[in-house]
């Protein structure tokens, strides 16, 4: 369950940033989750709630922003939205290179 380690790391960063800004409490967190990140949303939400316990982020609302996979074709240089095993919709060759959307990133936090 790698979602828990992702959330523990994210909550550590979130609470550090909140303390730096003098916040009393984190009320909302926006996470970008790439389509190819291999993250199960329900496990992410459960893990996030657990990771937030007894921190400034306890009880905050988690907002998940789903980011589609972005790729470009080695053959024809087309920029496309794709899955890991797609062929290029322009030249129909299996030459896509995934540029991003395989990670989890903190987009923003809301504090009091």
Domains of the chain: 2-68+101-111 (3.30.2320.50)
pLDDT above 70 coverage of the chain, percent: 96
Mean pLDDT of the chain: 92
Global pTM?
Answer: 0.83
State how far the alpha carbon of 16 is from the alpha carbons of 6, 10, 11, 33, 95, in Å: 16, 10, 8, 21, 41
pLDDT reported for residue 103: 84
Compute the distance between CA of residue 33 and CA of residue 104 in angstroms, rounded to an integer. Answer: 5
81: tokens are 């939205």
Question: Is pLDDT at 36 greater than 90 in this prediction?
Answer: no
62: tokens are 């988690």
């Amino acid at each position: 369950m790698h979602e828990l380690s992702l959330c523990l790391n994210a909550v550590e960063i979130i609470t550090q940033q909140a303390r730096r800004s003098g916040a009393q409490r984190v009320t909302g967190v926006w996470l970008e989750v790439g389509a190819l990140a291999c993250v199960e949303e329900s496990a992410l939400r459960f893990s996030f709630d657990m990771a937030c316990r007894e921190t400034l982020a306890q009880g905050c609302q988690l907002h998940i922003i789903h980011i589609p996979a972005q790729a470009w074709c080695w053959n024809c240089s087309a920029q496309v939205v794709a899955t890991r095993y797609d062929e290029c919709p322009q030249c129909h060759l299996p030459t896509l290179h995934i540029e991003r959307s395989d990670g989890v990133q903190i987009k923003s936090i809301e504090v009091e």
